[in-house]
């Protein structure tokens, strides 16, 4: 179980990094859809961060970090 949570956590971090870079690249654009795209990427980033934190807490629970 711990291996699955660890892999899931690292996958979530990788996806989070990709979304973060996409958001930074989107800031350099000047088209009319930039603001809408930026908002969607921000929401996606927050959701992926919540998933990563949940996986990290689950991993801590499985490994016995919480009493």
How many CB atoms sit inside 10 A of residue 63's CB?
12
Is residue 41 within 8 A of residue 23, CB to CB? The reply is yes
Is 59:8 a contact under the CB 8 Å cutoff?
A: no
Predicted local distance difference test score (pLDDT) of residue 33: 92
What is the rounded CA–CA span in Å between residue 54 and residue 44? 15
Measured distance CA(34)–CA(50) in Å, rounded: 24
Report how many domains make up the chain. Answer: 1
pLDDT tens readout for residues 7-63: 999 999 999 999 999 999 999 998 999 999 999 999 999 999 999 999 999 999 999
**Residue-level pLDDT at 10:** 97
Confidence class of residue 66 from pLDDT cuts 50, 70 and 90?
Answer: confident
User: In terms of residue numbers, what domain contains 33?
Assistant: 2-63
């Amino acid at each position: 179980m711990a291996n699955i949570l660890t892999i899931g956590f690292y996958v979530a971090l990788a996806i989070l990094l990709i979304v973060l870079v996409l958001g930074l690249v989107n800031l350099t654009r000047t088209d009319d859809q930039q603001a809408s795209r930026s908002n969607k990427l921000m929401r996606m980033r927050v959701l992926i961060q919540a998933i990563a934190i949940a996986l990290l807490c689950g991993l801590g629970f499985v490994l016995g970090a919480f009493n």
